[in-house]
Amino acid sequence: MDLQSICFQTIDIVKSVGEYIRQSGLHLQQSQIETKGTNDFVTEIDKGSEARLVSRIQPLIPHAGFITEEETKTTKGKEYNWIIDPIDGTTNFIHGVPPHAISVALMQHNSIILGVVYEIMMNECFYTWQGAPAYCNGKKIHVSQTESVSKSLIGTGFPYNDYSLIDEYGIAMNYFMKHSHGLRRLGSAATDLAYVACGRYDAFFEYSLKAWDIAAGIILIQQAGGSVSDFKGGSNYLFSGELIASNGIVQHEMISILQPILHKK
């Protein structure tokens, strides 16, 4: 399989749908916004974007299945599955603020082998495939070389409808506010992970994540020289909802800080 060719075809599709999102956002009406749950929104544009992505990506690997946020297509493939978030950062999108991004990943069995994150308002496309470097708009990217949490800028995401660890999360945020260069919460996990991959952030953590939020970002970080794990330092991160990502250098330190705080009850 020519992953490079598939990746560049995916990029073309993603950018085209990104333009649809950009133009549609200029005319978004309140009547187009639905509430799926507490602070969990979806718009007609999310659904339209996902339908466009699925219909155009499907011919690239006809036998592949799909894991999609809005469940446009839910057929699982035996070997390959696309994991798609049509707009990661919908709350940002409906308020007209960045970032919001399209996230598309390809999974072979249990391994992510291709990822594209397109941050729409900044027109930044991050992408990679198995065996390749990670890129942003055609230029190679790499994780930072920051050596300690105390010198790190750390990304996170605030819980918006799962408050099961809210008290513990407050403890973690309090620690990083006092012992790092600062915390940032942009509202798009896909973008956060792309920023770790290109060295803007040194680390990121969050819980209650979905596979479509993080799948593309995971391979971006790995191919850019970084590390990802669950809160215990293991490999159960894609579907567990918990993720620590970093430049690799501070990964162990991040785990040692977060694991005792954010342990599952």
Does 40 qualify as catalytic in the annotation?
no
Q: Which of 46, 50, 70, 85 is catalytic?
A: 85
Does 87 qualify as catalytic in the annotation?
yes
Does 90 qualify as catalytic in the annotation?
yes
Does 167 qualify as catalytic in the annotation?
no
Q: Could you give phi then psi for residue 244, rounded to 5 degrees?
A: -120, 130
- The CA-atom distances, in angstroms, between 163 and each of 101, 107, 160, 170, 188 are 24, 30, 7, 11, 18
The verdict on whether omega for the bond into residue 99 sits within 30 degrees of 0, i.e. cis, is yes
Query: Could you write out the three-class secondary structure of 14-80?
Result: HHHHHHHHHHHHCCCCHHHEEEEECCEEEEHHHHHHHHHHHHHHHHHCCCCEEEECCCCCCCCCCCE
Q: Which of 83, 87, 219, 255 is catalytic?
A: 87
Q: Which of 46, 50, 88, 206 is catalytic?
A: 88
In single-letter form, the type of residue at position 241 comes to G
Q: Which of 68, 72, 90, 128 is catalytic?
A: 90
Contact assessment for residue 81 and residue 107, using Cβ atoms and an 8 Å cutoff: yes
Does 192 qualify as catalytic in the annotation?
no
Q: Which of 46, 192, 202, 213 is catalytic?
A: 213
Does 44 qualify as catalytic in the annotation?
no
Q: Which of 46, 50, 69, 230 is catalytic?
A: 69
Q: Residues with Cβ < 8 Å from 57, sequence gap 6 or more?
A: 10, 13, 82, 84, 104
Active site residues: 69, 85, 87-88, 90, 213
